[in-house]
Chain A
């Protein structure tokens, strides 16, 4: 235990940074995902096509490759256009950007599934009463789709808490980055540090799953 105590502040900073990556990237993913879902659902090919390609490419390639491409590739590319733009890509922007783009693709599918599970008859009832398309969307479709989407959203956020460890490959100073550095310096007995990191990940995810469970129960009771 003696080796652990002095490292705890560093681990707490790592925990805070992990939370920061997640809390910054998930809202972006939710907004981006909604646009992707709307584009994907459009009948216009040049909206539908790019959205579909983006979703399939992101879901079909390793997040490890994506973060390298964004951190090194995109940084270099921007540098070619304007040397000062290369500075835009640092571990924070690359980390948040990769996580946001990646999760946007997944959340788009959640939106799509949510809207698909609202019965067709609901739109017919709304239209036959004379509601406009936007009234139908905001007053009829959205309120019914959101309760169906919240559990998968929260679930994905828990995945994101763990997936954010990927930023450690570009030394993103998150919890896993801190863990890596101590594992390297205490190679003979790394186990306590692993356990500490596990506990800290659990401290982040357990409250979220608890809230998710309660929310799900309440939403189900309302329908």
Chain B
């Protein structure tokens, strides 16, 4: 690992736009978040924060609770105890689906298995929520959808059905769909884990572009190079706990905790 290759996005793009996470402007905050699946304790007293414009990579072995954590953030999983605040608003687990909707809209979710709507064209996938939820006028939604598809490089696929896209293209559409609701932050749940290796790059590139535009992102990932190059902060989870977190270069080069060292040794041994 050559330190010269590690571009911190904050440094590289400082001239273009200020990408420094904004202190005190918390988009996501959890306090003593706990989650049980029947008697299995999968999240243990998680205190987790994401600042505006921050890119956080969540890494750790499978089963460590990374995905569960971000699924709790938009209430796809109900937290067992503790508090979640999204842009300052308390995410009460007892809210009805209707009451949850405005909070969920603040966070865009990108799934491992894309979950595109197979009965809609690519463009319809992107504009469905703006039309239904934001009640955006049709022409405006179309313009928005087209600009987002152009952004992920798939404008020419606007009228075809997701079934005919490659995995990488599906995930890029899914990112455009999440962006269409203009969320305050994007949550990525292992966005490249279901992809063939040669398709991973195109998705990571889109995500990298978003990061360089100042998007707030939480990325659960096994792509260590991406975590290292793009994120502002890496959070290492194991056994439902945040074991260690910090600046990507520090954490990857000088992990303090034994569990982090073991994990990184295992996953980094395959990197060039």
Residues of A within 8 A of B (CB): 119, 121-122, 124-133, 135, 139-140, 143-144, 147, 222-223
CB interface residues, B 101-117, toward A, < 8 Å: 101-102, 104-105, 107-109, 111, 113, 115-117
Residues of B within 8 A of A (CB): 74, 76, 97-98, 100-102, 104-105, 107-109, 111, 113, 115-119, 128-129, 132-133, 161, 163, 177-178, 181
Residues of B within 8 A of A140 (CB): 117
Give, as a whole number of angstroms, the nearest-CB distance from A114 to chain B.
13
Task: Known A-B contacts: A127-B97, A130-B101, A223-B163. Give 4 more (CB < 8 A).
Answer: A125-B177, A129-B133, A132-B97, A133-B97
Residues of A within 8 A of B129 (CB): 129-131
CB <8 Å contact, B117 and A125: yes
Give, as a whole number of angstroms, the nearest-CB distance from A181 to chain B.
50
Residues of A within 8 A of B117 (CB): 122, 125-126, 140, 144
Residue contacts A-B, CB under 8 angstroms, 5 given: A122-B117, A127-B100, A129-B129, A130-B101, A130-B105
Give, as a whole number of angstroms, the nearest-CB distance from B230 to chain A.
23
Instruction: List the A residue with the shortest CB-CB distance to B96.
Output: A133
CB <8 Å contact, A133 and B109: no
Residues of B within 8 A of A124 (CB): 76, 109, 111, 115
CB <8 Å contact, B105 and A129: yes
Residues of B within 8 A of A223 (CB): 118-119, 161, 163
Secondary structure at the A interface, as helix, strand, loop or mixed, is helix
Residues of A within 8 A of B113 (CB): 121
Q: Report how far A128 CA is from B174 CA in the complex, Å.
A: 12
CB <8 Å contact, B133 and A130: yes
Residues of A within 8 A of B76 (CB): 124, 127-128
CB <8 Å contact, A121 and B111: yes
Residues of B within 8 A of A119 (CB): 115
Residues of A within 8 A of B161 (CB): 222-223
Instruction: List the B residue with the shortest CB-CB distance to A135.
Output: B132
Most buried by B among A119, A122, A127, A222: A127
CB <8 Å contact, A130 and B104: yes
Instruction: List the B residue with the shortest CB-CB distance to A143.
Output: B119
Q: Report how far A133 CA is from B105 CA in the complex, Å.
A: 14
Q: Report how far A143 CA is from B109 CA in the complex, Å.
A: 22
Give, as a whole number of angstroms, the nearest-CB distance from A16 to chain B.
38
Residues of A within 8 A of B100 (CB): 127
The 9 closest A-B pairs by CB, nearest first: A129-B129, A125-B115, A130-B105, A121-B115, A128-B109, A130-B133, A130-B101, A143-B119, A133-B97
Give, as a whole number of angstroms, the nearest-CB distance from A145 to chain B.
10
CB <8 Å contact, A133 and B98: yes
- Choice from A125, A131, A139 contacting B111 with Cβ under 8 Å: A125
CB <8 Å contact, B119 and A222: yes
Give, as a whole number of angstroms, the nearest-CB distance from B28 to chain A.
14
- Choice from B97, B119, B128 contacting A129 with Cβ under 8 Å: B128
Residues of A within 8 A of B108 (CB): 128
The verdict on A132 contacting B128 (CB below 8 Å), with A121-B113, A144-B118, A222-B119 known, is no
- Choice from A126, A132, A144 contacting B98 with Cβ under 8 Å: A132
- Choice from A122, A128, A139 contacting B104 with Cβ under 8 Å: A128
Instruction: List the A residue with the shortest CB-CB distance to B103.
Output: A130
Q: Report how far A133 CA is from B104 CA in the complex, Å.
A: 13
CB <8 Å contact, B181 and A129: yes
Residues of A within 8 A of B105 (CB): 129-130
Instruction: List the B residue with the shortest CB-CB distance to A140.
Output: B117
CB <8 Å contact, A139 and B128: yes
Q: Report how far A143 CA is from B161 CA in the complex, Å.
A: 14
Give, as a whole number of angstroms, the nearest-CB distance from A136 to chain B.
8
Instruction: List the A residue with the shortest CB-CB distance to B102.
Output: A130
CB <8 Å contact, A127 and B115: no
Q: Report how far A131 CA is from B111 CA in the complex, Å.
A: 17
Q: Report how far A133 CA is from B74 CA in the complex, Å.
A: 15
Give, as a whole number of angstroms, the nearest-CB distance from B176 to chain A.
12
Residues of A within 8 A of B109 (CB): 124-125, 128-129
Instruction: List the B residue with the shortest CB-CB distance to A121.
Output: B115
Q: Report how far A212 CA is from B177 CA in the complex, Å.
A: 35
Instruction: List the A residue with the shortest CB-CB distance to B101.
Output: A130
CB <8 Å contact, A139 and B118: no
CB <8 Å contact, B104 and A127: yes
Instruction: List the A residue with the shortest CB-CB distance to B112.
Output: A121
CB <8 Å contact, A139 and B98: no
Q: Report how far A191 CA is from B100 CA in the complex, Å.
A: 68
